[in-house]
A and B are shown apart, each in its own frame.
Chain A
Amino acid sequence: MVGRKSLDALIRLYALQNVLLALLAFGLAQGEWPLVLAGLVLLLLKGVLIPRYLFWLLERLGVSHEVESYLSIPLSLLLGGVLVGIGLRVGSSFVLEGAQLPEAVPVALSLILLGMLSMASRKKAVTQVMGFLGLENGVFLLALAETHGLPLFIELGVALDAFAAVVLAGVLIFRIRTTFGHIDTARMRDLKG
């Protein structure tokens, strides 16, 4: 996700990531229906609905489908590699006792770090939303790996939360475009005291 130049590819990658996450949830469910249900909701919401919404958003906004970043592709790939390294290095100390899938904890940490990297380095508002979604997936993976499934209501709440956040972000991006005529957050510099 760090190295692609096209937003379409980014969204497709995100959808793929969610499908894989859902599969992981099914795998860990061991036939318990709350986890299966959570996985289904995840698949439906994040694997299908959010990517479709994002495609629709891009279409409506009429902006170029190109990722604009402060960092060049090789540099962001390099930084991404470093961050994954950091995640793997420190991840082992975050494993709780009785974790279901200790191997996934460093991966989840790396996901969070990568999500933050893309939020901090990308210029367009849409790409920042993508970064946030990546981060959110990392948090979900962490919860999945560390515990034997969070309570169903919390899982559903988190999934809905992410969805609501994306919808809100979409609305906000529309407002940003109508007010400023662009969605380049690098050009907005008035948020200060």
Chain B
Amino acid sequence: MNPLIETALIFLGMQSLLALLRPPATGFLPLSLGGSGLLLLLAGLGAWLAGARGTPLDAAAGFYMALLGALYLGVGPYLREYLSHHEPSRARLEAFLLPLFAAAMVGVLLAPPGYAFLFLWEGMALLGYLLMALEGPDGLAGSRAFFLASRLSGAGLFLALILLAHKGLRVGGLEHLVWAGLVLGFGTKAALFPLHAWLPKAHPVAMSPLSALLSGGMVKLGLYGLYRAQDWAGPPPEWVGWLLVALGLAGAVYALARGLAEEDYKGVLAYSSVENLNLLLAALGAYFLLKSPFFLLAFFFQQAAHALFKGLLFLGSGALPVRELSRLGGLHRLLPRTAAWSFLGALAAAGLPPLAGFLFEWYLYQGFLAAPRGAGASSLLVLGVGVVALVGALAAVSYVRLFGLAFLGQPRSTQAMTAREMGGFGQLGLGVLAGLLLGLSLFPTALLSPLKPPLYPVLPLFLALMGLGGGLVYWVRRKPQRVYDPWDCGFHSPDLQGSALTPQMQPHALGYSEQLLRLFPFLELKAHLSREEMLAPPKVRLEVSDWLEVMETRLTRGYTALAHQVQRLQSGSLHLYLLLQFLTLLLVLGVVWR
């Protein structure tokens, strides 16, 4: 194996060992996690750029390894700062488990298909669950959802990989079963549309660095699996491509609309992750169908970009005092640096031109527009252009809303006034990710060169946009100006203290998106008015009802009822249990009855 990777894994192991022997050992995290990240980044980029073909580290695995490495590089220093605010006993556990989790993710990339892969895959899911469960009762629903999803994912993968291991069985029709298992297994992890429900529950409750690792790193491994599965199980049947495209595009729109109705800062980010992942799955599906290089470019490029900007945004969310958007506001004064990093992340996530998100959309447009014309079903893919356009617009609204509500305006609660900026290590972690994101945005060819990408001139566009923006600012600044708050009706003037406006007059988190939500019939915003006394001011409670979630609850209820029925079998009688085993044996023997 590559000595760089070996060293990186040793670093991670040492960190876990230190957390056990000399707790809490968080001081070493920048070196161990960040250092291993740097090594992985170098090793992975080397393999990716050289187009390596050998096992275990070929080009595709190298790409994901570089992606994980970049994340670790940012999360390492940040984590030191973050864990110093935790109790020592808990920080110790986290400093022990997190490097193991990081190492398991690297292991998944190196493992051949089979039991080693399943072991590492399940180990990764289990460690993630444990880290999430450390959040205590608040995180219970989220960590449970995560656990259940990883069970579902494991079930699909066990089915697929065990079938693959018995090559003699691969006769007509069985490859469909293998691919169904793969799509279920990896699709659940990559938040494929109807199976995504765990992600917006789980990621917000995890601590911010863990959310960054989950959203930036772990879910990408689901995509890695689906891409890599081509080598394991041969070219996918056509229905896989169509399924991924259809569910991916539908899921992207759904997730963004649902994200607009979300009040939790990290919840919005999680829904945005679902949207990005579903678009990526759609790009992969379209690549399966058409083999068009544009989709492959979009697929790889956006994964790197998403890992960086989502890592940046999630790490930035660690500095927020509360997570509810309707209690944040005005944070750009208290957290100027975090606000700047988050702004950069939000710009990239919204897909604004010079940054990475835009190039992804551009590749998607190119790919869908270049779909073959004619009578074939694949000409339908052109319709994807419309969906991508809708998604781009919704993403922009979503990030305007997120950034505006959290960082601009006036603080909506007293907690929002107590925010404290992160120290040096935290800023270093964010700065690393931001630098990588900017580098990737300005020099995409540096990463994409093995795929020989067609590209618009990135740097001139960047310079032109900067010049245009700078000119606009200069032109506006030159005019004489008067400063007053909007909607203040002129109350604010130099000789009058304060303003007639109160923070409650600002747009509410749900009120802001209410107009847009009317467009989407599957979401309903309900306002409940209640009054405690005759003269008390009415209280408004806003509620989002979502068809999908209603269906989910019903499904859960039905399943629980079914499980209770099965439990009747468990009467407590030892003889009944023995009899059941006996009958099972007879049944199995009956299979060979000739």
Contact = CB atoms under 8 A, between A and B. Distances in A.
Is B one of A's binding partners?
Answer: yes
Interface of A: 70, 86, 89-90, 93-94, 109, 112-113, 116-117, 119-121, 123, 128, 185-186, 188-193
Contact of A116 (B572, B573, B585, B593): B585
Given A116-B581, A120-B579, A188 B594 contact: no
A128 B522 CA distance: 59
A117 B582 contact: yes
Contact of A189 (B571, B578, B582, B589): B571
A148 B590 CA distance: 27
B592 A186 contact: no
Contacts of B593: 89-90
A137 B409 CA distance: 80
B594 A93 contact: yes
20 contacts: A90-B589, A90-B590, A90-B592, A90-B593, A94-B592, A109-B589, A113-B582, A116-B578, A116-B581, A116-B582, A116-B585, A119-B582, A185-B575, A186-B575, A188-B572, A188-B574, A189-B573, A190-B572, A192-B571, A193-B567
B570 interface: yes
Interface string B80-117: 00000000000000000000000000000000000000
A193 B563 CA distance: 12
B505 interface: no
Given A116-B581, A120-B581, A191-B574, 8 more contacts: A86-B586, A90-B592, A93-B592, A109-B589, A112-B585, A186-B574, A186-B575, A189-B571
A191 B571 CA distance: 8
Nearest to B594: A93
A37 to B, nearest CB: 32
Contacts of A186: 573-575
Contacts of B574: 185-186, 188, 191
Contact of A193 (B570, B582, B589): B570
Contacts of A113: 582, 585-586
| Chain A interface main SS type | helix
What is the size category of the interface that chain B forms with chain A? 10 to 19
A20 B326 CA distance: 82
Nearest to A188: B574
A192 B572 contact: yes
Nearest to B593: A90
Interface of B: 567, 570-575, 577-579, 581-582, 585-586, 589-590, 592-594
A181 to B, nearest CB: 17
A142 to B, nearest CB: 13
A120 B575 contact: yes
B573 to A, nearest CB: 6
Contacts of B594: 93
Given A90-B593, A192-B572, A119 B578 contact: yes
A123 B578 CA distance: 12
B575 A192 contact: no
A191 B578 contact: no
A113 B578 CA distance: 12
A89 B586 CA distance: 12
Contacts of B573: 186, 189
A93 B574 CA distance: 32
Contact of B570 (A120, A121, A128, A192): A192
B174 to A, nearest CB: 23
Nearest to B577: A191
CB-CB nearest 4 A-B residue pairs? A189-B572, A120-B578, A192-B572, A93-B592
A191 B572 contact: yes
Contacts of A193: 567, 570
Contacts of B572: 188-192
A70 B577 CA distance: 15
B575 to A, nearest CB: 6
B584 to A, nearest CB: 10
B575 A70 contact: yes
**B573, B577, B581, B585 interface centre (most CB from chain A within 10 Å):** B573
A31 B586 CA distance: 37
Contacts of A117: 582
A84 to B, nearest CB: 13
A21 to B, nearest CB: 21
A117 to B, nearest CB: 7
Nearest to B570: A192
Contacts of A70: 575
Nearest to A191: B572
Contacts of B571: 189, 192
A94 B581 CA distance: 20
B445 to A, nearest CB: 59
Contacts of A93: 592, 594
A109 B581 CA distance: 15
A192 B571 CA distance: 6
A117 B581 CA distance: 10
Nearest to B592: A93
A93 B581 CA distance: 21
A45 B290 CA distance: 69
Looking at A94, A117, A120, A128, the one whose CB has the most chain B CB atoms below 10 A away is: A120
Contacts of A116: 578, 581-582, 585
A128 B577 CA distance: 13
Contacts of A119: 578, 582
A27 to B, nearest CB: 28
A72 to B, nearest CB: 16
A190 to B, nearest CB: 6
Contacts of A89: 593
A54 B589 CA distance: 32
B491 to A, nearest CB: 67
B575 A86 contact: no
Contacts of A120: 575, 578-579, 581-582
Contacts of A90: 589-590, 592-593
A122 B573 CA distance: 12
Contacts of B586: 86, 113
A193 B572 CA distance: 9
A180 B567 CA distance: 26
B581 to A, nearest CB: 7
Nearest to A119: B578
Nearest to A190: B572
Nearest to B582: A116
A113 B590 CA distance: 13
Contacts of B570: 192-193
A93 to B, nearest CB: 4
